[in-house]
Amino acid sequence: MGKPRNIVIAGLLIAVVFIATNIRFPIPFSPTGGLVHLGTVALFVAAVCFGPRKGAAAGAIGMALFNLFSEWAVWAPYTFVIRAVMGFIIGYAAHFGGARGRRPWRNVAALGLGGLWFIPATFVAEAIIIGNWIYPVTSIPGNLIQLILALAVGPTIAIFVQKHILNRGTI
């Protein structure tokens, strides 16, 4: 990622993920004060359109910064690792075999693979943070909502970015 162009793209993706994560909705039924945000959508688009390294960087740094600048600072190191791995998984799966994120069904499967990491990793992180292995169960629905939201709008946004931004050489 050493080229200036790649650094600028990664910085833009980090900013987009950070901003999207700030578009959030509290989960009223969560005793730990969970929330649903649009950061997962942005992470998905970053990973699908720009690959595993930029997807990992955007998710890890963008969402960890959100944690640091909000009441969720204790989550920052966990978020950094969880979202880095998630972004890498999605980007790798979407780009595997030269697909370059241009096969919609593979992208959907990539999100599913990322979710298979994200849900249990977030559960374990929350259990460690609050010292209780029961309460984190209540966060699973909100995490599933984030994945469903990413699945509902992420592929359309990714296709738009690929068609109207990447194919035109804008980025």
Nearest partner of 61 among 91, 41, 95, 84, judged by Cα: 84
Q: Is the pLDDT of residue 107 over 80?
A: yes
Nearest partner of 164 among 49, 55, 54, judged by Cα: 49
β-strand 24-26 against 35-37: which pairing, if any? Answer: antiparallel
> Where is 3: in which H helix or E strand?
none
Return the beta strands (E) in 24-151 as ranges.
24-26, 35-37
pTM of the model: 0.94
Q: Is the pLDDT of residue 123 over 90?
A: yes
Mean of pLDDT values over 114-139? 95
Tokens matching residue 24: 């959030």
**Cα separation of 39 and 17, whole Å?**
5
Q: Is residue 58 within 8 Å of residue 11, measured between CB atoms?
A: no
Nearest partner of 37 among 12, 70, 77, judged by Cα: 70
Mean of pLDDT values over 122-148? 94
The 10 Å CB-count burial string (b at 16+, else e) for 70-97 is eebeebbebbbebbbbbbbbbbbbbbee
Percent of the chain residues topping a pLDDT of 70: 95
pLDDT at 34: 73
Residue-wise pLDDT for 15-28, tens only, equals 999 999 999 988 77
Tokens matching residue 162: 């690929």
Q: Is the pLDDT of residue 1 over 60?
A: no
Q: Is residue 121 within 8 Å of residue 85, measured between CB atoms?
A: yes
pLDDT confidence bin for 170, thresholds 50/70/90: low
Residue 25 forms beta bridges with which residues? Answer: 36
SS3 assignment, position 100: coil
Domains of the chain: 4-159 (1.10.1760.20)
Tokens matching residue 89: 């998984």
Residue-wise pLDDT for 145-166, tens only, equals 999 999 999 999 999 999 998 8
